[in-house]
Amino acid sequence: MNALDAAYEVLRATGKPLHYREITKRALDRGLWTTAGLTPWDTVNARIAVDIKQNGENSRFYRAAPGIYGCRDGNHPSPSPEPDMESESMSFLDAAEMVLEEHADRRPMHYRDITRTALDLNLIRTGGLTPEATMYAAILTEIQRQNRRGELPRFEKLGKGYVGLTRWHEQGLPYQIEVHNREMRERLLRRIRTMDPTAFEELVGELLAKIGFEDVTVTRASNDGGIDVRGTLVAGDVVRIRMAVQVKRWKNNVQAPIVQQVRGSLGAHEQGLIITTSDFSTGARQEAEQPDKTPIALMNGEQMVNLLIEYDIGVVRTSYDLIDLEEGEE
């Protein structure tokens, strides 16, 4: 089976929407699909998203919530989609990945051509006057951030504005580095799951401070609805958001009632964040994204590890200099 057929079979058998990472895991575990890629979930997410975008109500899939998909099946009919849910444009990055996957014939494309193709296919919509610059900046920023996290970027910059997908040549030094770093990420996750509770609280506090929290206080009151930390998330010394944080050092996935509990414990003008060393159920993700309720941000174990690495908490970097020619004018 290809990725789409495998995803459809998983969703049809399950009978309910799933996050694209869970779809990928079940497809691989059941042997419905095989791939040598190190980020198969990205492929599944992009393929389903584009299938919905291109086929609309004729697609076998529908988007139940961001990152969560269901299948249209006679035994399990899809619910009515939210207004404009299936007609919304893709992100610039997902559109770029899809253009390269479907229209580049495994050859690098200039970012202007990528943008033009994405616009022609109606994958993206923008009122900006310079969508090409937006596209290229987004690609370069993601490459930089994924490198910082020790992840293998999905895009590679090939000079003079040309971009390709790293999975086109899954071999060599970059992939050896990714295999090593993936093992280190897994070991770091195992470590934080078994940390002393006090040490874990200190680790979370350090991470929150690194990502922009100020006035962080640990809440120990028994009547505080399970809130562990309160603080203010500051962006650019301009935006200040009061946040209530609940931390779950769990092995099992966080379920929807926990999200509801956190939302019910929020003070005036507060938003919520749940951090877990495990993951979130589909129901929890859907509850967190309810459009008519206060949004609850979710950080799973994988995301926490990525941020720890990005901000050099609990890791040591070993770097080597690889020189390249300076990129000239486009």
Tokens found for residue 281: 């159920």
Report the amino acid identity of residue 230: R
Residues 20, 22: Cα–Cα separation, whole Å: 5
Residue 81 contacts by C-beta under 8 Å, 6 or more apart in sequence?
Answer: 62, 63
Residue by residue, pLDDT tens for the chain (330 residues) are 899 999 999 999 888 898 888 899 899 988 999 886 667 887 888 889 888 878 888 899 998 877 789 998 755 555 554 444 444 567 899 889 889 988 888 889 999 999 999 998 888 888 888 999 999 999 999 999 888 888 878 899 987 899 998 878 766 677 677 778 888 989 999 999 998 887 888 899 899 999 999 988 877 654 445 788 889 999 877 889 999 999 998 889 999 999 999 999 998 889 999 999 999 998 899 899 888 899 899 999 999 999 999 999 988 888 777 676 766 654
Task: Note the pLDDT of residue 327.
Answer: 62
Both tokens of 143, joined, read 């490459």
Q: So what's the pLDDT on residue 303?
A: 92
Q: Which residue has the tokens 């009978």?
A: 15
Q: Give the C-alpha separation, 43 to 47, whole Å.
A: 6
The ranges of the chain annotated as CATH 3.40.1350.10 are: 197-310
Task: Give the pLDDT confidence score for residue 171 in this predicted structure.
Answer: 66
Cα(288)–Cα(259) distance, rounded to whole angstroms? 6
Q: Does the domain made of 197-310 have the CATH classification 3.40.50.150?
A: no
